[in-house]
Structure 1
Amino acid sequence: MLLRSLNSYTVARGDDIADAVTIGDDVLSRSDILGAATSVAERIMGAQRVAVLARPTVSTVIAVIGALIAGVPVVPVPPDSGPAELDHILADSGAQAWLGVAPEHDGGVPSVPVRLHARSWHSYAEPPVTATAFVLYTSGTTGPPKGVLLSRGAIENGLDALAEAWAWTANDVLVHGLPLYHVHGLILGILGPLRIGSRVIHTVKPTPESYAAAPGTIYFGVPTVWSRIADDPEAAGHLRGARLLVSGSAALPVPVFEKLTELTGLAPIERYGMSETLITISTRADGERRPGWVGVPVRGVETRLRDEAGNDVPHDGESIGGLQVRGPMTFEGYLNNADATAKSTTQDGWFVTGDVAVIGPDGFHRIVGRESTDLIKTGGFRVGAGEVETALLGHPSVREVAVVGVPDPDLGQRIVAYVVGEDVIEKDLIDHVASQLSVHKRPREIKSVESLPRNAMGKVQKSRLE
C-alpha cells in the first residue's frame, strides 16, 4: 500500500496519531486524513485526472490523498502559475476538475470542493503499482513544461530506498516548509511520512525562525533555506537536537555545509534527484558526508557516465561525463510527448539526466551541473561551473555566485561569474580562483549583481542572467 500508515485497519487498531500532519496552525490525525480523503475519493472516482492548486494547506493534503485513494492521477499546480502556464498544464494534462480551491484563472475547468470535516469510511481496493499517481510538470529551460508520469510503484520504491539510506522510521518527526507541488516538498515531504508512519510539521514558510520553533528529528531544506539558517546562529542552535539535516534541489555551497556543521554539530545530508527519477543518489545516515558531493546510489539504482560519443568515462574523481541512471523509481515517460521520452532514454534503458557529474573510485558522486549551462568548453578544456563557483564562495567578498560560459570567438566559451557580495574586486576574485584551481578555470570576467534569479526551489536560473 502506497500510504501504509493510512490503512483503515491500522487506524482502527489504535495506531492513530493525533498530529500526523501539521501545517501552520492546522493539525490532522491519521483518521482525520483517511476519513476526509475517502470522502473526496467518493466524489471523483472514475475521473481521468484532477488538478490541485498546491498551496501549503491541509486542504491540499486531503485533496492529494483523496485522489490517490480513488486511483485518479494528480496534477499539482504551482500557486504562482501565470495564465499561459495554467492553460498549458490544463490542456496538456486533460485535468477534468480542480480538486479544492481553483485559481482566479481556472481555465474554464470546474472545481470539486474539499470538505475538511466530511468523513467516509468506505474501503477501496489499492490501485495497481503500475497506475499513474502524479503528472508533475517540469520547469524546463526551453519550450513549455513537460508532464512527468510517475507511477505508484516508482514512488513506493523511491521512498523505501530513502527510508533505508536515512534510517527514516516512524519515530522521526520531519520538519520542512517547501512547496507542495514537486518531488521534494510533496512526495518526500508529505507522502514520505504517510508511508513510513512518521509525523510531519510543515512550517508554511521555510524561515530560520519557523524551523527553530518546530521540534523535529529530520529537517528538509533547499540551499537558500540552509544559507539563511547558517547566517542565523541562534536559529541554527535550535537544530542541534536533530538527527538529519537534508539538503537538495540544488547544490549546497561548501561554505554553507561547513558553517551548518559548525553551528549544529550535524554535517548535512546531500542528495540528488529529478522529477523524472525521484531521488537516486544520496549520502547516508551511517556514511560519510563529504562537502560538495551527493553520495552514492540508493538501493536499486545504477549510475554511469558517458562522453559525447557515448563512451564510458572513468570513475576517477576528476573526469566529467553525462550522468545516466537506471532504477525502479524512474518515470513512465512524458505525457503526450513520445519524442521527448525517446530522447531521454538510451536503447539499453538508461535515463539521460542532462546533468554532468564526476564519480570517484569509491562511488561518491559530485554533480557538476546541467550539461547545457554548467559544462563550459573553453580553450579546449572542459570546465564544470560548480567547481569555479565553489572556489569563488571561498572568498570572503562573495555571498552568492553563478558561473556561466558565454560565446567567445577565441576560446569558444569564456568563463563569466555573476557575484553577489561586498567590496567585489574583479582582479582579486580572478586571481583567487587561479590560485585554487587550474589557471584555465579562472573567470575571464566578474559581474557584480544585487541578486541571482532563482525559482521557487532555490535553483539559480542561469538562462535569465545577462
Structure 2
Amino acid sequence: MASVPLLTALHDGPDRPDALRVDGRACSYEELLGAAGAVARRVSGRDAFAVEAGATLETVAAVVGGLLAGVPVVPLAPDAGPDERAHVLRDSGAEVVAVDFAERADFSPAADGARSDRVDGARADGARAGRADGGRADGAGEPGGGGKRPALVLYTSGTTGPPKGVMISREAIAADLDALARAWQWTADDTLVHGLPLFHVHGLVLGVLGALRVGSRLVHTGRPTPAAYAAAGGSLYFGVPTVWHRVVRDGEAARALSGARLLVSGSAPLPVPVFTGLAELTGHEPVERYGMTESLITVSARADGPRRPGAVGTALPGITTRIAESADGIGELQLTGPTLFDGYLGRPEATAASYTEDGWFRTGDIAAIDPDGSHRIVGRASTDLIKSGGYRIGAGEVENALLAHPAVREAAVVGAPHADLGQEIVAYVVADGVSATELTDFVATRLSVHKRPRRVAFLGELPRNAMGKPQKRLLPPI
C-alpha cells in the first residue's frame, strides 16, 4: 500500500532562499532536501533513530530525513535529564543520530531500495519501530496498525509514570494538517511564526511539518519572546498561553502583531484575561484549539467563525466527539477520527485502556459541549474535576475567576481531601498586594459561592513544563 504523501510543498511548492528560518539561520527547500537526503542515507534500514530536537535546522533536516527514509523519528528534548533520556532511548530502542546540515545527498528510493515520503513511506515490510509490539485497541499488533511504521514516536510528559512513546502515522499527520489548513485558511501565502519546542506536536507537527505541507514560509524565533514575535512580521502566529501572557504584558510588542492575520493559542487553556488583552492590544481575538499527543488537534475555532474566551471551538472535519454520561453535562471528552495515534510503543495494555469498549478514545479531559457545538475544556479528570460538597467544579473556571483580579498574575486550582466536603478547593496564586480572604471573596462574587477557594497559597511562580503548562503534581502541599 502506497503511503500518504506528506511534505507536498517541500517537494512540489515554489522554492525561495528563506523558505525556513530557524533561530536566525535560513535555508531553501532545495537546501533542506539535500541535508535531509544525507540523513536519510545514514538512517536507511534502521528500526528507528533519535535526534536532539533543539530549535535548529538540523532538527528539521533529521525529521524530514526520517520521513524520506520511512524510518521512525524519536525527538529528544534537549533539556531532558539523564534518567528521562536513558528511558526514552531504552524504551524506543533508538540511537541518537548527529546531523550536519552542511552535508548534502540525493536520496532516491529507486537507488537503494529504501522507502521514502513519496513511495511507500508508511509500510514496514515486517520491521518494527524499536521494541514496538503495541497496537490499536482494535487488535492491530504492529506499530501503526496493519504493519505500518510510525512517522514519529513522541514521548508524553509522564505525569502518571515513565513517559510513553506515542506512535503517530503520516496518515494521521496529513489528515490533521489538512483539516487545520481549512479551519485556519492557512495557505502558501502565509508566513508562520513561532518559537515553540520541536519535540512536541505543537512546535514540530503543526509548526514545522504544517509549513512544509502547506508551503507557507516558516520563521522559528528560537525563543518565543515578545520582541522576537514582534520583529518577525508574520501573518500567522502560534503560541502557548505563557507566550501570549508575556506578549500582553509588553504592549509595544502586542501592538506590533496587529498586522497579522491570525493568532493561535494551544497546549493549555488560555486565561480569559489574556484572551481579552490580546483582542484589545492587537485587534485580533485569538483562535484557541484543543488536542493531545495521542490525537493531534481535534477541536478548533475557525478563522472565519466566532471565538469566545474559555472555548476551544468545534470538532474538525472527520472528528466526532462526545461527553461521557453526566447528569450536569460535564464529563470526560471522548472522540474518534483519522488523527488518532496508533498505540503506545510496546504497551498494548495501555493502548487498550485508552479506548472505551465501543472504540472511542478516552482523552482524560473533562469538558462540556455547548448547543452550538463549541467545546469548553474544564481540565484533566485526575486533577481538575473537583467534587466538593456534592458539586462538580472545574478548576479552570475558578482559575479564570482568580486571574480576573488585577493583582493575580498566575493561578492554579486543585482539590484537596476534606473530611466533610470530600474535596475542598485550594488555590495557588502568584500575586502582589492582596490577601487570601480578598481573593476568596472576589471569586465568590463572580462564581457560585460553593466554587470559592477554601485555602489560598502564595507562590513566587508556578511549576511549568517546556510548553508552559502548570504542573500541578509539583505544587507544594499546604
TM-score normalised over the length of structure 1: 0.93
Give the letter for the 2:474 counterpart: R
3-state SS in 2 of match to 1:334: coil
Alpha-carbon displacement from aligned partner over 1:331-387 (angstroms, at most 9, x marks no partner): 001011111111101122111000000110110000000000000011111100001
Q: Quote the offset at 1:437 in angstroms.
A: 1.1
Give runs of aligned pairs for residues 58-77 of structure 1, distance below 5 A. Answer: 58-77=57-76
Deviation by residue 1:288-324 (Cα, 9 ceiling, x = unmatched): 0000100000111010001xxxx3x47xxx6211110
Structure 1 residue 40: Cα displacement: 1.4
Question: For residue 390 of structure 2, what is the amino acid of its counterpart?
Answer: G
C-alpha distance in 1 between matches for 2:195 and 2:471: 21
Q: Give secondary structure in 1 for the equivalent of 2:393.
A: strand
Q: For 2:70 and 2:265, how far apart are their aligned partners in 1? A: 31
- 2: distance between equivalents of 1:322 and 1:121? 46
Deviation at 1:120, TM superposition (A): 1.7
1:99 maps to 97
Aligned residue in 1 for 2:435: 425
- Confirm whether residue 119 of structure 1 aligns to residue 105 of structure 2: yes
Contact 1:133 1:151 in 2 (8 A): yes
1:242 and 2:260 matched: yes
Contact 1:69-1:126 within 8 A present in 2 as well: no
Q: Decide whether the 8 Å contact of 2:9 with 2:213 is kept in 1.
A: yes
* Aligned equivalents of 1:220, 1:249: Cα separation in 2: 10
Equivalent-residue separation in structure 2 for 1:426 and 1:87 (angstroms):
43
CA offsets 1:263-284 (integer angstroms, 9 cap, x no match)? 0000000000000000000000
| Residue equivalent to 1:79 | 78
Gaps of at least 5 residues in structure 2 are 110-115, 124-147
TM superposition shift of 1:121: 5.3
8 Å contact kept, 1:278–1:329: yes
SS of structure 1 residue aligned to 2:289: strand
RCO higher in structure (CA 8 A, sep ≥6)? 2
Q: 2:283 aligns with which of 265, 268, 271?
A: 265
Q: Give the whole-Å Cα distance in 2 for the aligned partners of 1:284 and 1:116.
A: 40
Letter of the aligned partner of 2:295 in structure 1? Answer: T
CA distance in 2, matches of 1:322, 1:54: 33
2:16 aligned with 1:22, yes or no? no
1:359 corresponding residue in structure 2: 369
Structure 1 stretches of 4+ moved >4 Å: none
User: Aligned equivalents of 2:255 and 2:386: distance in 1?
Assistant: 39
Q: Secondary structure at the match of 2:312?
A: coil
Q: Which residue of 2 aligns with 1:458?
A: 468
Give the partner amino acid of 1:437.
L
Task: Indicate if the aligned counterparts of 1:136 and 1:148 stay in contact, CA closer than 8 A.
Answer: yes
Corresponding residue of 1:408: 418
CA distance in 2, matches of 1:131, 1:286: 37
Map 1:145-224 onto structure 2 (within 5 A): 145-224=163-242
Query: In the alignment, is the contact (CA less than 8 A) between 1:357 and 1:367 conserved in 2?
Result: yes
After superposition, what is the alpha-carbon deviation per residue over 1:124-179, rounded to whole angstroms, capped at 9, x for unaligned?
42413753101100002121000000011000001011001001011100000000
**Residue 349, structure 1, aligned to residue 343, structure 2:** no
**What does 1:287-306 correspond to in 2, within 5 Å?**
287-306=305-324
Q: Residue in 1 aligned with 2:452? A: 442
Cα distance in 2 between the residues matched to 1:415 and 1:458 = 23
Rounded Cα–Cα distance in structure 1 between residues aligned with 2:458 and 2:82: 33
1:142 aligns with 2:152: no
Contact 1:260 1:267 in 2 (8 A): yes
Deviations 1:80-125 (A, max 9, x none): 1111111110111010x3122xxxxxxxxxxxx4342423253542
Distance 1:230 1:300 in 2: 35
1:62, 1:116 within 8 Å by CA — same for their partners in 2?
Answer: no
Provide the secondary structure at the position in 2 that maps to 1:454. Answer: coil
Q: Is the 8 A contact 2:24 2:221 kept in 1?
A: no
Residue in structure 1 matched with residue 404 of structure 2 by the alignment: 394
**Counterpart code for 1:366:** R
Cα RMSD (Å) = 1.2
Distance 1:369 1:424 in 2: 26
Q: Would you say the 8 A contact 1:179–1:186 is kept in 2?
A: yes
**Which one-letter code corresponds to 1:99 in the other structure?**
V
- Matches of 2:365 and 2:445, distance apart in 1: 27
Q: How far does the alpha carbon of each residue in 1:189-218 deviate from its partner, in whole angstroms, 9 at most, with x for none? A: 000000011110000000000001101100
Residue 6 of structure 2 corresponds to 2
2:122 is matched with 128
Contact 1:63-1:114 at 8 Å conserved across structures? no
- Name the residue aligned to 1:373: 383
Tell me if 1:333 matches 2:351: no
Cα distance in 2 between the residues matched to 1:40 and 1:85: 25
Cα distance between partner residues in 1 of 2:107 and 2:35: 9
The amino acid across from 1:237 in the alignment is R
Secondary structure of the equivalent of 1:240?
A: helix
CA contact (8 A) 2:241 2:269 kept: yes
Corresponding residue SS for 2:74: strand
Q: Is the 8 A contact 2:379 2:385 kept in 1?
A: yes
**What does residue 130 of structure 2 align with?**
none
The percentage of counterpart residues that share the same residue type is 59
Shift of 1:17: 1.9
CA distance in 1, matches of 2:244, 2:467: 12
- Number of residues paired by the alignment? 440
Which runs of no fewer than 5 residues in structure 1 stay unpaired?
101-112
Of 424-433 and 242-251, more deviation after overlay is shown by: 424-433
**Distance between the aligned counterparts of 1:303 and 1:435, measured in 2?**
34
Does the aligned pair in 2 maintain the 1:52–1:99 contact within 8 Å?
A: yes
